[in-house]
Amino acid sequence: MTVALIQPPSSKKPTIVPSKPANRSGHWWFGGWDRLVNSLLRIAGEPKIEVPPGHFAIDFHVHTVYSHCSISRPEDILLGASARGLAAIAVMDHHHVEGALETVRCANELKHRGLLPESFLVIPGVELNSTVGHIGALFVTGDLPEKLTPAETVNAIHEAGGLAIAVHPYHSTGIRDAVFDAPFDAVEIECGSVFDLKLSTLNRALARNPHLAHVAKIGGSDAHYSGAIGSCYTIIHTEYISIESVRNSLITGKCSAKTTDFMSRLQRILGLVPKLR
Ligand SMILES: [Zn+2]
Ligand SMILES: [Zn+2]
């Protein structure tokens, strides 16, 4: 016997399950803060990505709502990154790969709907806390242990099949001179989260350090706000873009780190703050 499941009429509004992850910052005011920062970023304009023919631009360091300190939604990140001329992004949320995997899923959906170029690439990654500071892992799809030394962290990343990135080495949360203590695959020398001129000079100087001669030099925005995506980026020298070709470009060092005028405009805007006090 077939029983018809007829729901009684209800005055209650149906519960809508949000398709987007909730604000994980835990702060009710973060939505307003996000809008405020994105408005400030708009004053500095948009990062201008310059891509020579036959090359590709990648932002290797982007955060999503899956980080406690960002509410950027994967869909907005992907559409914004593509509109700015990036061919790929790497998602490196704090502690967990969940945000990167969700961004991969979101990219596939947007491609299916014809809203994102088929060739647009999302590289999964995670930003880990070591005993000294933050270390990035790219090309990983599972969570990795934290609170290890830099050498142990790099080893864990390699064992998981990933590449280890010394992100924003000279920064309050960077590993500073420990960048020389472990076999990193790449070092972020153009960092969108470093505004202090002394620190950005130290990061850039790593490009000429003979101890890191064999290590790829990359740029990444470390964008926690969608307006900052592409503020720093990396140009990859490869015939075509794929997970393997990007990985090979890093391993062989066929890439170059870039910053944008957006960064210097933002530095000038931030520099106004003490003068106004
Ligand atoms: Zn970091
Ligand atoms: Zn970061």
Task: CATH number of the domain at 85, please.
Answer: 3.20.20.140
**pLDDT given at position 29:** 80
Tell whether 51 is covered by a domain: no
Long-range contacts of 240-246 (CB under 8 A, 24+ apart): 241/56, 241/87, 241/88, 241/119, 241/121, 242/121, 243/121, 243/123, 243/139, 246/58, 246/88, 246/121, 246/123
Summarize the confidence of residues 119-125 as an average pLDDT.
98
Reported as a pLDDT band with limits 50, 70 and 90, residue 269 is: confident
Distance 174 CA to ligand 2 centre (A): 10
Cβ–Cβ under 8 Å, residues 128 and 144: yes
Summarize the confidence of residues 86-113 as an average pLDDT.
98
Q: Closest Cα partner for 46 from 271, 262, 193?
A: 262
79 compared with 39, residue with greater pLDDT: 79
Distance 230 CA to ligand 2 centre (A): 13
**Structural domain containing residue 163:** 56-276
Summarize the confidence of residues 36-56 as an average pLDDT.
92
**pLDDT given at position 21:** 58
Residue type, 138: L
Cβ neighbours, 10 Å, residue 30: 16
Tell whether 50 is covered by a domain: no
Q: What is the DSSP letter of 184?
A: -
Distance 230 CA to ligand 1 centre (A): 16
Tell whether 22 is covered by a domain: no
Distance 205 CA to ligand 1 centre (A): 19
**pLDDT given at position 148:** 98
Q: Which ligand is nearest to the CA of 67?
A: 2
In this prediction the pTM is 0.89
**Distances, alpha carbon 175 to alpha carbons 76, 119, 121, 178, in Å:** 30, 34, 28, 5
Q: Edge-to-edge strands of the sheet including 121-129?
A: 216-220, 186-191, 163-166, 134-138, 121-129, 88-94, 56-62, 232-236, 255-259
How far is Cα 46 from Cα 163, in angstroms, rounded to an integer?
30
Tell whether 230 is covered by a domain: yes
The contacts of residue 252 (CB under 8 Å, 6+ apart) are 216
Summarize the confidence of residues 92-102 as an average pLDDT.
97
Tell me which residues have their CB within 5 A of the ion that is ligand 1: 134, 173
Q: Closest Cα partner for 65 from 102, 36, 28?
A: 102
Q: Which ligand is nearest to the CA of 224?
A: 2
Distance 168 CA to ligand 1 centre (A): 7
**pLDDT given at position 171:** 97
Summarize the confidence of residues 255-265 as an average pLDDT.
95
Q: Which ligand is nearest to the CA of 135?
A: 1
Tell whether 171 is covered by a domain: yes
Distance 93 CA to ligand 2 centre (A): 7
> What percent of the chain shows pLDDT beyond 90?
77
Summarize the confidence of residues 207-230 as an average pLDDT.
97
Summarize the confidence of residues 157-183 as an average pLDDT.
98
Reported as a pLDDT band with limits 50, 70 and 90, residue 200 is: very high
How far is Cα 248 from Cα 267, in angstroms, rounded to an integer?
34
Domains contained in the chain, number: 1
pLDDT at 9 over 60: no
How far is Cα 23 from Cα 3, in angstroms, rounded to an integer?
41
Name the pairing type of β-strands 163-166 and 134-138. Answer: antiparallel
**pLDDT given at position 15:** 39
Least trusted range by pLDDT, from 139-153, 178-192, 263-277: 263-277
Q: SS3 of 178, please?
A: helix
pLDDT at 272 over 60: no
Reported as a pLDDT band with limits 50, 70 and 90, residue 25 is: low
Tell whether 128 is covered by a domain: yes
How far is Cα 274 from Cα 268, in angstroms, rounded to an integer?
11
Tell whether 40 is covered by a domain: no
**pLDDT given at position 27:** 73
Tell whether 4 is covered by a domain: no
Summarize the confidence of residues 234-243 as an average pLDDT.
94
**pLDDT given at position 31:** 85
- Residue 23 burial (C-beta neighbours within 10 Å; 0-12, 13-18, 19+): middle
Distance 193 CA to ligand 1 centre (A): 8
- Token pair 């695959």 is found at 185
Distance 62 CA to ligand 2 centre (A): 7
Q: Closest Cα partner for 182 from 235, 137, 236, 233?
A: 137
Distance 245 CA to ligand 2 centre (A): 23
**pLDDT given at position 277:** 36
